[in-house]
């Protein structure tokens, strides 16, 4: 009877010893003496490797070398699962058969037994998932994606797939990647030769990669009640900071009949659920990242779980910042957008808890946000976290056709491109709210990594589209 392959994690947790097992994975290390060789094998199923013990009588060191049992090689191991005699693990495999499935020349393999800089590892993104660091990050990324869907499903939300190719600019920012099938050289022109004739393009109009699924999410919310999107978004922003990517994933819930208060409650419940899920389900990976990269990581995650979020008006926040004894690089004045240093001061120094800022000046927010009665502010909200600043941005949406049309005119948003969005306000309009959470910002916070390029498998940023 053949023995089924087990995952490393499954074996490390097993209580059923003295049985034959098969494991397949990659060699992390091989060490030993003339009597025995110890081979650490990891298959990616968890942070920890399993120790394979190879008796020198059956597996001479020179033979292991000749066969290619070296760091980076893929191997299949058959043997007995027994209680471990060494420290650091409860079980190990006494090997009876070791087969090399794929060699890795130790003189050429880029991942040597030494520390590698994160910058170097970005250059070998096809291999960096094999490191402890990026294995941990990618497992946590998976856990967070799973938790997102589980949270919304349990709350009665419907998952909506919004388009990646769009003819509208949801943010009004204009920093979009164009999508076209027209030739680069000599594209067709309009009759007066003044512009490119996009009527001859594939979609018959100018199209781009989406910056947000929000507007389409509103369509679904005004029919299904509670929806969320979770998909890739794109910004053609020439930014090389540690907080920006050209391609990233966004989570955008939208709820009919929710006002700003409901929106804040949802955001707080959502974030605390995600952080708690990470603490409960990613312990080994978080412990490693806490020890290697950020000694305050676990404390910061617990800080979010343990503290209710402070809620205050933008105007109050400006007053607190202007009276702060701390000197800021960027000035603080009513009407300006707060910088990360301001947001982190409010969270880390002043309130010592996560903060939700609301009621921002209308001139620094998007056209679709509901106008307050003062005609100066909108029902916007930003959730601020320690170490990162803004992690969520959202608002109650403007449901009045008259007010929305006026705001679009003030901000030069063309009505003809969003005729369908305006019609939502003509036929059964209703109050509704939502927010956007950049998934990589979330993973950045949960992992404690310093650069957003290290929390996505294949980062896209200016002058970089490798892999």
In the chain the domains, ranked by start, together with CATH numbers, are 8-102 (2.40.50.140), 130-176+211-454 (3.30.930.10)
Residue 226, strand partner residues: 255
Alpha helices in 113-259 (DSSP H): 118-123, 132-154, 214-224
- Give residue 335's pLDDT band: very low, low, confident or very high (50, 70, 90): very high
Check residue 353 and give its pLDDT.
95
Question: d(Cα 197, Cα 204) in Å, to the nearest integer?
Answer: 9
Average pLDDT over residues 69-82: 97
Check residue 85 and give its pLDDT.
83
Strand order in the sheet with 432-438: 158-159, 226-234, 247-256, 432-438, 389-396, 377-385, 355-361, 310-313
pLDDT at 70 exceeding the cut of 80? yes
**Cα-based angle 251, 256, 261 (whole degrees, multiple of 5):** 80
Give per-residue pLDDT as tens, 353-406: 999 999 999 999 999 999 999 999 999 999 999 998 999 999 999 999 999 999
DSSP 288-339: HHHHHT-TTHHHHHHHHHHSPPEEEEHHHHHHHHHT-SS--SS---TTSPPP
Question: d(Cα 315, Cα 361) in Å, to the nearest integer?
Answer: 9
pLDDT at 86 exceeding the cut of 80? no
How many alpha carbons fall within 13 Å on the CB side of residue 228? 23
Q: Quote the mean pLDDT of the chain.
A: 95
Question: d(Cα 409, Cα 367) in Å, to the nearest integer?
Answer: 9
Alpha carbon 27 to chain centroid, angstroms: 29
Give per-residue pLDDT as tens, 32-52: 998 999 999 999 999 999 999
Neighbours of 266 (CB within 10 A): 22
Give per-residue pLDDT as tens, 155-206: 999 999 999 999 877 665 558 999 999 998 999 999 998 999 999 999 999 9
Residue 362, strand partner residues: none
% of residues, the chain, pLDDT over 70: 99
Write down the pTM of the prediction. 0.94
Average pLDDT over residues 238-242: 86
DSSP 243-263: T--SEEEEEEEEEET--HHHH
Question: d(Cα 159, Cα 334) in Å, to the nearest integer?
Answer: 38
Q: Which residue has the higher pLDDT, 416 or 222?
A: 222
């Amino acid at each position: 009877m053949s023995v089924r392959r087990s995952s490393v994690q499954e074996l490390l947790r097993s209580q059923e010893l003295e049985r034959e097992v098969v494991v397949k994975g990659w060699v992390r290390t091989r060490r030993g003496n003339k009597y025995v060789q110890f081979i650490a094998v990891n298959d990616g199923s968890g942070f920890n490797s399993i120790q394979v013990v190879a008796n020198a009588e059956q597996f001479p060191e020179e033979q292991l070398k000749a066969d290619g049992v070296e760091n980076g090689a893929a191997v299949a191991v058959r043997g007995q699962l027994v209680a471990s005699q060494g420290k650091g693990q409860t079980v190990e495999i006494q090997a009876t058969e070791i087969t090399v499935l794929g060699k890795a020349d130790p003189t050429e393999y880029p991942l040597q037994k030494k520390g590698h800089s994160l910058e170097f590892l970005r250059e070998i993104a096809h291999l960096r998932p094999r490191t402890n660091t990026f294995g941990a990050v990618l497992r946590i990324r998976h856990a967070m994606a799973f938790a997102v869907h589980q949270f919304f499903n349990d709350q009665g939300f419907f998952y909506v797939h919004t388009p990646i190719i769009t003819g509208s600019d949801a943010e009004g920012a204009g920093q979009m990647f164009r999508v076209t099938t027209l030739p680069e050289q000599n594209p067709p022109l309009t009759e007066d030769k003044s512009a490119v004739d996009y009527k001859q393009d594939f979609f018959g109009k100018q199209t781009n990669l989406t910056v947000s699924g929000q507007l389409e999410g509103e369509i679904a919310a005004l029919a299904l009640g509670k929806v969320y999107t979770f998909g890739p978004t794109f910004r053609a922003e020439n930014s090389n900071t540690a907080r920006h990517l050209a391609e990233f994933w966004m989570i955008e819930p939208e709820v009919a009949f929710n006002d700003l208060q409901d929106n804040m409650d949802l955001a707080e419940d959502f974030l605390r659920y995600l952080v708690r899920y990470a603490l409960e389900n990613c312990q080994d990976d978080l412990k490693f990242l806490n020890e290697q990269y950020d000694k305050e990581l676990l404390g910061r995650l617990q800080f979010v779980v343990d503290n209710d979020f402070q809620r205050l008006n933008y105007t109050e926040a400006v007053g607190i910042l202007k009276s702060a004894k701390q000197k800021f690089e960027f000035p603080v004045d009513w009407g300006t957008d707060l910088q990360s240093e301001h947001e982190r001061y409010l969270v880390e120094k002043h309130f010592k808890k996560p903060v939700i800022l609301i009621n921002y000046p209308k001139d620094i927010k998007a056209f679709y946000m509901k106008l307050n009665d003062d005609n100066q502010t909108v029902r916007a909200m930003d959730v601020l976290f320690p170490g990162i600043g803004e992690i969520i941005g959202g608002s109650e949406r403007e449901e009045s056709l008259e007010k929305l049309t006026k705001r679009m005119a003030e901000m030069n948003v063309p009505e003809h491109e969003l005729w369908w969005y305006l019609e939502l306000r003509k036929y059964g309009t209703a109050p509704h709210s939502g927010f956007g959470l950049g998934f990589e910002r979330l993973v950045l916070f949960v992992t404690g990594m310093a650069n957003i390029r290290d929390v996505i498998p294949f980062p896209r940023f200016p002058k970089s589209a490798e892999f």
